Amino acid sequence: MTKQINTIAVLTSGGDAPGMNAAIRAVVRTALARGKKVFGINRGYNGLISGDIFEMNSKDVSDIIQKGGTVLRTARCKEFITPEGQKRGADMCKVFGIDGLVVIGGDGSFKGAEKLANLGINTIGVPGTIDLDIACTDYTIGFDTAVNTAMEAIDKIRDTSTSHERCSVVEVMGRDAGYIALWAGIVNGAEAVLLPEKQNITQEELIKTIIQNRNKGKKHNLIINAEGSPEDSVKLANRIEEVTGISTRATILGHLQRGGSPTAVDRMHASMMGAYAVDLLCKGKSNRVVAFKEGKYVDYDIIEALKMQKSISEKRYELSKILSI
Ligand code: ADP
Ligand code: F6P
């Protein structure tokens, strides 16, 4: 028999991402529209365990769709990785009468969601991470904003780099995935992109390319280095300068890529996915992840989703090389 859901809670977990607020808003307002009671849980699984939980109404999510970060705050919670922590979380849901939960986060957060589902709390994951590294979905909330932020920052670095006829090594985020780096490589017109997924360019080859580019008359060289690539950005910049004699600077873009007002793309996906998650709960579904696949919103079993693999697009990688000549 389908479990009737009366009270839905929402939390954000792991690294924050622009668009998480739009997703929270969509969960809260869709749930209210379906006649459900709604709770917000502060600071991810930490707040769930400690009972940092409050009832939310429509006004609580006013004026947040345009804001970066997450109004529910986020955290990484070690205790929740243990069976005892998970049991405390499930017990706290029962204390507040929470029978449906939406977890906005990445793969780690979904592992926690799966544990709660096994403990009887109907739980749905919504993919929120700038890294785009969730295998079951073509889109994760925050990616578009992060790439646009990186692109604008790198354009600025290019201005000064060209003026000084320098080489720039720019490190972008992405943890073990190179999606932000590959996109930046193409949209910023980089001379080379170093990715965790493609460890096929040696330092010598890279330096040779930079020298050839100088001989061709290029005024500057832009190297995008993904956070997860084996190259250390500062050491690489020093080595390039030492061997080529070209003045070289390393810039690590860092957390500025995680902030800022979400783009329309992020707000739209966040709104659609948040509402979709609530509708799954209303249908009595649990242990599912919302995904955007081949232009459609769909959902997958969490365990199945966590087993899936994806990699960067070979076509885009080839294009980044062709366009850098
Ligand atoms: P993300 O969700 O962005 O991948 P993390 O990997 O840091 O971020 O995970 C976020 C949180 O999810 C962790 O701090 C922890 O509370 C929870 N989590 C991660 N892995 C597990 C696990 N195997 N079992 C239960 N909870 C987990
Ligand atoms: O997962 C998002 C992300 O920004 C990664 O790109 C990065 O590796 C990591 O989080 C940084 O985490 P923290 O904010 O804990 O330094």
- In terms of DSSP H, where are the helices of the chain? 20-33, 44-50, 83-96, 107-118, 143-163, 179-187, 203-216, 233-244, 264-282, 302-307, 314-322
Report the candidate in 304, 282, 300 with the shortest Cα–Cα distance to residue 290.
Answer: 300
Q: Is the pLDDT of residue 35 over 90?
A: yes
Report if pTM > 0.85: yes
> Quick check: 154 and 250 in contact, CB under 8 A?
no
Catalytic member of 99, 131, 266, 299: 131
Find the largest Cα–Cα distance for the chain. 72
* Nearest Cα residue to atom 26 of ligand 1: 112
Q: Find the 309 Cα to ligand 1 centroid distance in Å.
A: 18
Name the pLDDT band for 1 (thresholds 50, 70, 90).
low
Residue-wise pLDDT for 228-271, tens only, equals 999 999 999 999 999 999 999 999 999 999 999 999 999 999 99
Whether 278 and 298 map to the same domain: the answer is yes
Judgement on whether residues 125 and 271 belong to the same structural domain of the protein: yes
Structural domain for 195, as ranges: 143-258
Residues paired with residue 8 on neighbouring β-strands, in sequence order: 38, 100
Rounded CA separation 144/292 (Å): 14
Domain with 65 in it: what CATH number?
A: 3.40.50.450
- Which one of 48, 72, 81, 101 would you pick to mutate in the ligand 1 pocket, going by the greatest count of ligand atoms within 8 A of its CB? 81
Strand partners, 127: 105
The total of structural domains in the chain comes to: 2
The answer on pLDDT for 120 being more than 80 is: yes
Domain containing 149 — which CATH number? Answer: 3.40.50.460
**For tokens 């080489």, what's the residue?**
167
Q: Which atom of ligand 1 is nearest to the CA of 105?
A: 2
pLDDT digits (tens, 9 = 90+) for 65-118: 999 999 999 999 999 999 999 999 999 999 999 999 999 999 999 999 999 999
Task: Concatenate the DSSP letters of all residues of 209-254 into one string.
Answer: HHHHHHHHT-S-EEEEEETTSSS-HHHHHHHHHHHH---EEEEE-G
**16 and 108 fall within a common domain:** yes
- Per-residue confidence (pLDDT) for residue 11, from 0 to 100: 98
What pLDDT score does 2 carry? 79
Residue 49, in any domain of the structure: yes
Q: What's the rounded Cα separation, in Å, for the pair 299 and 61?
A: 25
High-pLDDT (> 70) share of the chain, %: 100
Q: Is the CB of 174 under 6 A from ligand 2?
A: yes
13 and 108 together in one domain: yes
- Mean pLDDT across the chain: 97
Report which protein residue has its CA nearest ligand 2's atom 9: 175
